[in-house]
Amino acid sequence: MSRPTRMVLGVCTFNRGERIVRTLEAISAMDRVGGRVAGLMVIDNNSTDSTGSIVDAFAGACERLPVRRVLETRQGQGFARERLVRDSSEEIIAFLDDDVLPEPGWAAAILSVFDDRPTAAMAGGRVVLEWEGGPTPAARRDAALLAQQDLGSRVCLVDGPMQSLVGAACAIRRSHLDACGWLTRRIMGGRAGGALTSGDDYELGLRLRRVGGELWYTPAAVCSHLIPPERQTPEYLDRLARGVSRAEAFLKWIEAGEPAESWIAEMRVRAERKLRRTQWLEWRPGRRRRRLLERQARLDGWNELLAFVRQVR
């Protein structure tokens, strides 16, 4: 009989300070599923505050779960996640943001997905927003941008166009990750410092699907995502919407199989037409500003993609 597949838990962090302790405590309190949860790696992405010493102190005092901190000097969430993959050996790799609180049964529910489905490449569950004050009307409207995820009360396959699982709390199978080429072909860099760049988790999901991997959602894997007041302001949410919209071009290109420059140019023209149409026809005050922001960001994304492809080809 083969040995049960093991999982490593990974948290990538930057200047989280004392606030990371709640996440570390929630992770250490999870059911280790008979020892199948091997340990926790905290990838410190060049923190300049007290994060490093706080994580080290927690690691020294934690008796329920092996914890170690690893420094990644290349700035960006993508590089931090890459370091987690390269510095671990377990078949299942979990990505948990440094502001999520998984429930005790999260790891068990995720592992059950991989146990039951050999073709499962990625698994995730319910992500519930925990408002630290608020929510503001703007934050409630933009809950999806803040990584809320609820796909219903049943286990389901995520396979719609441009669909993936949010990266705030998910896990991947290493063999599928190796097959999809993400370690060597990754394009989206993810969050870097305070920049609200986006799309790296969706790129991973799309690449896994391209090599036949399946993405599965299970409602039994529940975690809370902490949303402080500063992430509920219209200004922050506009920045977030701009980052998500700019990433759309790269994600559509990846999903389409990275077609030629002519395809990108055509999609860019379509994006420009939509922007012009919105400028001419959208006069509803409650929608005009945001729709213009998003459509301008999408056009910017197609311009950036076109420049990227011309540079690398």
Residue 111: predicted pLDDT: 98
Token couple for 107: 């790891």
Nearest to 191 by CA among 34, 73, 81: 81
Rounded to 5 degrees, φ, ψ at 255 are: -60, -35
Q: Is 17 left (phi over 0), alpha (psi -120 to 50) or beta?
A: left
The dotted CATH code for 7-227 is 3.90.550.10
Nearest to 145 by CA among 210, 204, 233: 233
For residues 78 and 185, what is the distance between their CA atoms, to the nearest angstrom? 12
**168 SS3 class:** coil
CA dihedral 46, 48, 49, 50 (to 10 degrees): 60
Rounded to 5 degrees, φ, ψ at 67 are: -130, 135
Prior bond of 135 cis (ω within 30°): yes
Residue 189: predicted pLDDT: 65
Residue 191: predicted pLDDT: 52
Q: What residues does each domain of the chain span?
A: 7-227, 236-312
pTM of this structure: 0.92
| DSSP 8-class letter at 143 | T
Question: For every one of its 313 residues, what pLDDT tens digit does the chain have, with 9 covering 90 and above?
Answer: 456 799 999 999 999 999 999 999 999 999 999 999 999 999 999 999 999 999 999 999 999 999 999 999 999 888 999 999 999 999 999 999 999 999 999 999 999 999 999 999 999 999 999 999 879 999 999 999 999 999 999 999 999 988 999 999 999 999 999 999 999 888 886 554 454 466 888 999 999 999 999 999 999 999 999 999 999 999 999 999 999 999 999 999 999 999 999 999 999 999 999 999 999 998 988 889 999 999 999 999 999 999 999 988 6
Element of type H or E holding 160: none
Residue keyed to tokens 């083969």: 2
